[in-house]
Amino acid sequence: MPTKLPPRIDRHAHLEGSLDPAWIRLQAAKAGKQVPATLEALWRREVINFEGFIEAFFFVCGFIRSAEVAKETIRACVSRLAPPGEGTRGIDLWVSPHFLVKQGAFLSLDELWRGMDEGIQEAREQGVYIAVIIDAVNHFGIKHGKEVLDLVLPEKPSWVVGFSTGGLERVPFREWAPVFDRARQAGLRLAAHAGENGPGSNVREAILEAGVERIVHGVRAAKDPAILELLAERHIALDSCISSNRALVPDLGPHPLPSLLRAGVRCALGTDDPGVIPCDIPWEWQQAKGLGLSEIELEALRTHAVEDAWCMALGA
Ligand SMILES: [Zn+2]
């Protein structure tokens, strides 16, 4: 039965959150840096608040200081897919170049793109297609969003296909709309982290006000039938990251993936930040199965993963 096998695609991973934990620990020790308690807690699969996650995420960002590390991180992402077998494998990979290059000044944009390009080409030789989505930080505001596009658009690598917001959902999507418009006009597809650390209504606003075609998480919208209908009617792709949601959405309760799927929402699985919140695609698949999904629902997860993945368009 095909549903015995995990999906071939990681529909949502962040480059920065994919560094190997053992490597981070080693580098921190070499640099004499204390690993933050928040990161230690996440490595132990404890539940923490989103502000704590941001601290852990920014800490690991500080280790992406060369093209070689960027390339190695992509290798780590590939290693977390289901093993090679039948069917093309792929990753939709988020990255926040402005934070790495400008705010953190950890490496140059040329170094980041060179390392990623080498990693992406190497993956492709192994039959793994990788598309990159540029992530702007919602709570840094739209001035930051404009700067992200100023940085990326002039010499955009061919594997950059999308624009997204992440971070704390503090700035309303209607305010972000002009930034999303500019990204769309530059040929980028649009996604947003929404309904994760902010209210479910952010999902509606991201779709209707900012025009996104893809939602990351959306867990807080699962109890609102009108938003579920909107997601289903518009065929919005939804990236579902079970381990991440369990760690960062303290009042989540049972994971709403079954409710989302049963409402006709096109969900697929992602690892999100597997170097911060340890997991891989086979593990996420086991978590999905543990939610009591039917064979048909599991098959839907696999089908959506391929049909809606932006990396698959690069391989067409
Ligand atoms: Zn994410």
Other beta carbons less than 10 A from residue 117's beta carbon: 18
Q: pLDDT by residue (tens digit) across 161-188?
A: 999 999 999 999 999 999 999 999 999 9
Q: What band does 3 get if pLDDT is binned at 50, 70 and 90?
A: low
233-240: average pLDDT = 98
For the chain, the structural domain boundaries read 2-315
pLDDT at residue number 313: 87
1 CA distance to ligand 1 middle (Å): 31
216 CA distance to ligand 1 middle (Å): 7
For a pLDDT cut of 70, what percent of the chain falls above it? 98
Residue 52 has pLDDT above 80, yes or no: yes
Whether 116 and 137 have beta carbons less than 8 Å apart is answered as no
Bridge-partner residues for 192, per DSSP? 165, 215
Residue 267 has pLDDT above 60, yes or no: yes
283 CA distance to ligand 1 middle (Å): 17
191 CA distance to ligand 1 middle (Å): 11
Q: What band does 87 get if pLDDT is binned at 50, 70 and 90?
A: confident
pLDDT at residue number 250: 85
277 CA distance to ligand 1 middle (Å): 11
**Which amino acid is residue 143, in one-letter code?**
K
pLDDT at residue number 310: 97
309 CA distance to ligand 1 middle (Å): 15
143 CA distance to ligand 1 middle (Å): 21
CA distance 222 to 233: 15
Q: What band does 88 get if pLDDT is binned at 50, 70 and 90?
A: confident
Q: What band does 236 get if pLDDT is binned at 50, 70 and 90?
A: very high
Q: What band does 316 get if pLDDT is binned at 50, 70 and 90?
A: low
CA distance 136 to 146: 9
Phi–psi pair at 103, nearest 5 degrees? -70, -45
Residue 2 has pLDDT above 70, yes or no: no
Q: Which CATH class is domain 2-315?
A: alpha beta
272 CA distance to ligand 1 middle (Å): 5
Q: What band does 315 get if pLDDT is binned at 50, 70 and 90?
A: low
253 CA distance to ligand 1 middle (Å): 20
CA distance 275 to 56: 10
Average pLDDT, the chain: 95
219 CA distance to ligand 1 middle (Å): 13
Whether 247 and 48 have beta carbons less than 8 Å apart is answered as yes
HEC string of 45-74? CCCCCHHHHHHHHHHHHCCCCCHHHHHHHH
Q: What band does 246 get if pLDDT is binned at 50, 70 and 90?
A: very high
Q: pLDDT by residue (tens digit) across 192-226?
A: 999 999 999 999 999 999 999 999 999 999 999 99
Q: pLDDT by residue (tens digit) across 110-148?
A: 999 999 999 999 999 999 999 999 999 999 999 999 999
What is the DSSP-derived secondary structure letter of residue 140?
G
Query: H-helix or E-strand containing 135?
Result: strand 128-137
